[in-house]
Structure formats: C-alpha cells, structure tokens
Amino acid sequence: MNKNPLVLILLGKSGAGKGTQLNLLKERLGLEFIGTGDLLRARKKIDDFTGKKIASVIDNGGIIVSSIPFKLWMDSFEVIKNKGDFKGLIIDGSPRKIKEAWLLEEALEWYEWDKRVRVVLIDISEEEAIARITRRKTCPECNNIIMFSKDDADIENCPKCGTKLVKRPEDTVEGTKKRLAWFEEEVGQTIRYYEEKNKLIRINGEQSVEDVYSDIIKVIEDDNN
Ligand SMILES: [Zn+2]
C-alpha cells in the first residue's frame, strides 16, 4: 500500500464530464479538492484591488495571469498541509498554461506531495464535445447542469427540482468551437508537456460515467504509475 498522499490533476475539454467525476471522487474517496475556478470566484468577492480586477477580467472574458491562481493554490495547500488525516487532493481546471505546470510541480515538491502525482486527461473528441455542449441544459432554479451524451434522450425538466430546463446562450456550435480553440491554445502545450514526460494518462471520456470513474480509480490504485 502506497503511503504517499495522492495528487490527482484532472484535465479535460469543456463537456468531458470532469465535474461529474470530481463529485464522485470527492464523495466516494474523501479527497481534498482545489478548483481554480472556485478559488477565483471566492477571491473575486473580496473588495480590494485584486478582487475587483479579477471580477473585471472575468466579466470581459479575459485571462487571469498565472501568478494569481498560483498564490491561491499555495494558500490552499498550506491550509490542507496543516490538516491532519490527509488522503489526497484533486486539482481541477489547472494547470492550464505550461508555466503553471512548472509552478505546480515546484509547489508539490515544496509540500512534499510529489511522490504520487497522477495527471489524467478525460479525453473526448471535438465532435463529442460539440454534441454534448450544444445539447446540455441548465436548471435556472438550482443551477444543475444536465449533460446529454450523443445517444441520450433529451429531458425537459430538472431531475432534482422539476423546473423547466433552459439552454445557455453560449452553448451553441460556434460558442463551443471557440471554447475548444481556447482549450487547445491554453492547455494543449501543457498536455504535450506531461505526455513527453510520460506522465499523462488518457482516459476515454466517451464511455459511461461509471466506466470513466472506474478507469480513474484504476489509475489511482496503480502504484507503478
Ligand atoms: Zn433544478
């Protein structure tokens, strides 16, 4: 049994089902979780220079410079490090740019969590991403996002609260293609970096949710990785 704490870095295009897998992993394995999106949203609420600037950059569709999420990761790592009973950590939505991958590597070394790092790419094709995102719907009441894979039947009402589901205006073919291009530009280099270091584990994201989950579990449990 490997005693080193696990660090799972989850990468994937929009529509790959990362959110679903994250929730399963958190629930079933009790891992800590750091999501860059959540950290930025929380930081944005603080009424100071950086808080206001994050809000304005996000509102204008801009990109937050790497030092900001990095500072937030380090603060979160410190909090987690000081907790007892640490089993492991999932990092979602990062690193994006290659320099964030380097910074993250240094940080994991600093906190002595670099012995059991798994970089998992939940891989789906562009066609699948477009098919899923242009069909997905959101609940205006509870913000539940319903993803349909290619072969699923559409549903009209939120399974949680029964409210009629709506489509987000940006979930068009064009909007999705823009997001995919952004992913390739931002994250493509980072994916190739992990690939060249033989660190990237690709999982077929076009399988069922449970099959994707069990593939991730196999990766986590494989101590030879
Ligand atoms: Zn709902």
**pLDDT of res. 101:** 93
Mean pLDDT of 186-190: 92
Architecture, CATH, for domain 6-123+187-221: 3-Layer(aba) Sandwich (3.40)
What's the pTM value of the predicted model, to 2 decimals?
A: 0.85
For 89, the enclosing helix (H) or strand (E) is strand 88-92
Give the C-alpha separation, 142 to 195, whole Å.
38
Domain boundaries, the chain: 6-123+187-221
pLDDT tens sequence across 121-146: 999 999 999 999 998 888 888 877 88
**pLDDT of res. 151:** 66
Distance 43 CA to ligand 1 centre (A): 27
Distance 96 CA to ligand 1 centre (A): 31
Distance 156 CA to ligand 1 centre (A): 11
pLDDT tens sequence across 24-78: 998 888 889 998 888 999 999 999 999 999 999 988 877 889 899 999 999 999 9
**pLDDT of res. 21:** 92
CB 75 within 8 A of CB 10: no
Which tokens go with 175? 């909007």
Provide the residue count of the chain.
225
Residue 35 backbone class (left: φ over 0; alpha: ψ -120 to 50; beta: rest): beta
Peptide bond between residue 95 and the one before it cis (omega within 30 degrees of 0): yes
Quickly state the pLDDT bin for 1 (edges 50, 70, 90).
very low
Distance 160 CA to ligand 1 centre (A): 5
Distance 224 CA to ligand 1 centre (A): 42
Mean pLDDT of 207-220: 93
